[in-house]
Amino acid sequence: MIIRCSKNDLVNGINIVSKAVPAKTTMPILECILIDAAGQKINLIGNDMELGIETSIAGEIEEKGTIAIDADILSGIIRKLPEEAVEIRTEGEKVTITCNKSKFVILGKDGREFVYLPEIDKNDGINVSQFTLRDIINKTIFSISDNDSNKMMTGELMEISNGMLRVVSLDGHRISIRKSELNGSYNDRRVIIPGKTLNEISKILDGDTDKFVSIFFTDKHVLFEFNETTVVTRLIEGEYFRIDQMISSDYETHFTVNRKELLDCVDRATLLVREGDKKPIIMTIADASIQLRINTAIGSMDESIEVNKSGKDLMIGFNPKFLIDALRAIDDEEVDMYFVNSKAPCFIRDAEESYNYVVLPVNFAAAE
C-alpha cells in the first residue's frame, strides 16, 4: 500500500475512528486503526465489536492495500508531524511514514485480521440535524446508569413516533426525556442504544444545524451516517421501561424560578457534601420564596430564593446532584417545577414538554 494525504486530514480521521478503539481488549488487532486503501477511497476504521466507526479521508492511493497500525502509536506520530503531506508506505507489515525530512519505520499488522463493520441495509432511515442529535444526547446522557447490573439502564431509549424523536435515559433515581420534531414522516421505531456509543457520537458530531445525520435501524444494530463518517453500534436487546406510566401532569405545587439562581444555590450546597455522603438538600416551598437548607458533618447552609408559586406549601428533600444535572441540561432562563407531595417525584418541564426531567425525592425526615 502507498498512500499520500495531508497531515490534518489524517489527524481528523484518526481522532474520529479512535473513539471506537478499545483501551484494553483480548483481541490486540482491535487496538489498531485499519487503513483501508483497497478501494477508491482511503478509509480509516476503528472497531471494539460493540461500536465501530469508519471514516474516509481525502488523499491519493498510489498502490492499493490495507494495513492495521496500533492506534496510539499511529496517532502519536501523525499528530507530531509537520503540517505537510504524509506518505504511508507498506512492505508486508513494515510501515514507513514519511513527511518532509522525517521518516518513521514501525511494524503494522495484517489488515486482513481486522474486523470490518457489519453490513447494514440503508433503508427506511430518518434524518435529523447534527445539532439536534448532539444536543438531545448531551442533555440526557448524564442520567444513564454506569452500573452494568441493569444493562437497560446503561443505554438510552431512542423512539420515533408520530413524527417526533424522543430520547430517554433513567438510572432508578431520575428520568431525563428530550423530544424533537422530525422533518418528514417516518415509521415508528423503538431501540435502546448503548450510552457509550451516544457519548462518542456526540463528540464527533459537528453540531451544525445545517448538516444532517441519517440513522438506519436493524433488529440488532443502528447505523449513523454523517459527513464522511459511518458509526455502527449494536443495540441493547430487550424491552425498555414503561416511561409513560411513570410521568404524570397532575400536581399540587408549582413554582417558576430563575434557573441559574437555583442552580448556583444547589451547587453551593454540594460543597458541604463529602463523597459517599447522602445528605439531601431540603426545599421548603412557601408563598413567594423557597428556602434551601442542608446540614452535614462539615457544616450547614441556608439560603432563600424568590419564586412565583401556586398551590400548596411543601417541604421536600433531594439529592443535590440530581437537581444540578437536570438544571444544567436546560437552556431556559426560567424553569417550572411541579410537585405532588414530599414522596412523589418532582417534574421540571416546559410547556411543550420538549424536556421533562423527573427527579425522585429523598426521605428528609430521616436525614434531619
How far apart are the C-alpha atoms of 225 and 88, rounded to whole Å? 27
Nearer to its own copies, 246 or 271 (CB): 271
Nearer to its own copies, 324 or 359 (CB): 324
Nearest to 106 by CA among 59, 80, 82, 71: 71
Classified as helix, coil or strand, 161 is strand
Question: Would you put residue 318 in left (φ > 0), alpha (ψ -120 to 50) or beta?
Answer: beta
Cα–Cα separations (whole angstroms), residue 39 to 1, 43, 180, 217, 219: 11, 9, 38, 26, 29
CB neighbours of residue 220 within 10 Å: 12
> Nearest distance from residue 306's CB to its own copies, in Å?
9
Nearer to its own copies, 12 or 289 (CB): 289
> Nearest distance from residue 42's CB to its own copies, in Å?
21
Pair 347, 247: CB distance under 8 Å: yes
Nearer to its own copies, 106 or 115 (CB): 106
Single-letter amino acid, residue 60: E
Query: What would you report as the CA-atom Rg of the chain, rounded to the nearest whole angstrom?
Result: 25
How far apart are the C-alpha atoms of 280 and 154, rounded to whole Å? 25
Nearer to its own copies, 80 or 203 (CB): 80
Q: How far apart are the first and last CA of the chain?
A: 70
Please name the residues in contact with 3: beta carbons below 8 A apart, sequence gap of 6 or more.
35, 37, 42, 59, 60, 61, 62, 87, 88
Nearer to its own copies, 97 or 232 (CB): 97
> Nearest distance from residue 70's CB to its own copies, in Å?
8
Length of the chain: 368
> Nearest distance from residue 294's CB to its own copies, in Å?
10
Cell numbers representing residue 195 in the block? 450510552
Classified as helix, coil or strand, 273 is coil
Nearer to its own copies, 101 or 343 (CB): 101
> Nearest distance from residue 73's CB to its own copies, in Å?
6
How far apart are the C-alpha atoms of 326 and 334, rounded to whole Å? 13
> Nearest distance from residue 299's CB to its own copies, in Å?
3
Phi, psi values for residue 303, rounded to 5°? -150, 145
> Nearest distance from residue 234's CB to its own copies, in Å?
33
Nearer to its own copies, 199 or 295 (CB): 295
* DSSP H or E segment with residue 259: helix 259-269
Nearer to its own copies, 67 or 144 (CB): 67
> Nearest distance from residue 253's CB to its own copies, in Å?
21
How far apart are the C-alpha atoms of 351 and 16, rounded to whole Å? 37
Strand partners, 110: 67
> Nearest distance from residue 285's CB to its own copies, in Å?
16
Which chain residues interact with its own copies by CB under 8 A?
73, 76-77, 80-82, 101-107, 264-265, 267-268, 271-272, 298-305
